[in-house]
Amino acid sequence: MTDADLSSPKGALARAPAMGRLLHKAALITGGAQGLGAAIAKRFAEEGAVVIIGDLERQAAAGRAAAEKIRAAGGKALFIVLDVTSEESWIGAVAAAEKEAGGLDILVNNAGINIREPIETMGAENFDTMLAVNVKGPFLGCKHCIPALRRRGGGSILNMSSVCGLVGHRYTTEAYTVTKGAITLLTKTIAVRYAKDNIRCNSLHPSTVNTPLVQELFKDPERKKERLGEVPLGRLAGEADVANAALFLASGEAAFLNGVALPVDGGATAD
């Protein structure tokens, strides 16, 4: 069940930059309350998009704060409760986007989890949980957003994969790689099947991104050495690196890019 934060809907959606690469576009971003999702939402709003931040009920405070921060900067944003594993929740999210933003032009399937257990010890229940969020979520998002994009005459879908969706990764567990590999091929299938409707679908493949969680992991110097050592540019991806790549793929500048698996990895998958 979605729950739009619309205590002042006119104020929430009234202001926007006069110019921008996403002007007059409406974008739904899953997992948008914090981290990469929030960074993408902020960047899209800076370029004129109406941003619908979708996240779980337990992230509502953070999601509303992210939307308010965008509005305070002159952008247009609202928060809705969205459980990506729930078909009912997706139906409500699309309805809210069409009601409050007038339609939907961009879907960013960003929500994802990683239960860091190797294949020999991971329980089937944890594997099912990862499949539900990382694969079923984007699948349902595409299912329910494609008709909305078609009603707008086309649009763009961005699926957040990973370098683990392109290559085997020695430092990442098998279950995560399975889910991100599935997203890579889901993207390509959507791209070729719905191009006739002027709907483009591309995937983003970041290497390790410099987030608070990663900084916590890097208290272990060996882990830090491992991850930095695999990137030819010698640094982690920043949230802005990924948000800017997402902006490019969502914008008209990438109008002829469809079915692309774009690494944002400092050359990690080229080595």
Helix (H) or strand (E) holding 201: strand 199-206
Which of 269, 203, 205, 264 lies closest to 236 in space, CA to CA? Answer: 264
Tokens of 247: 């902006």
Helix (H) or strand (E) holding 63: helix 60-72
Report CA dihedral (107, 108, 109, 112) to the nearest 10 degrees.
-160
Query: What Å distances lie between residue 34 and 45, 67, 107, 193, 261, CA to CA?
Result: 15, 11, 17, 32, 24
User: Which residue in 44, 139, 176, 218 is the catalytic one?
Assistant: 176
Q: Are 264 and 206 in contact (CB under 8 A)?
A: yes
State yes or no: is 171 an active-site residue: no
Scanning 111-259, the segments in alpha helix (DSSP H) are: 124-131, 137-151, 174-194, 212-217, 221-229, 239-250
Q: Which residues are catalytic?
A: 176
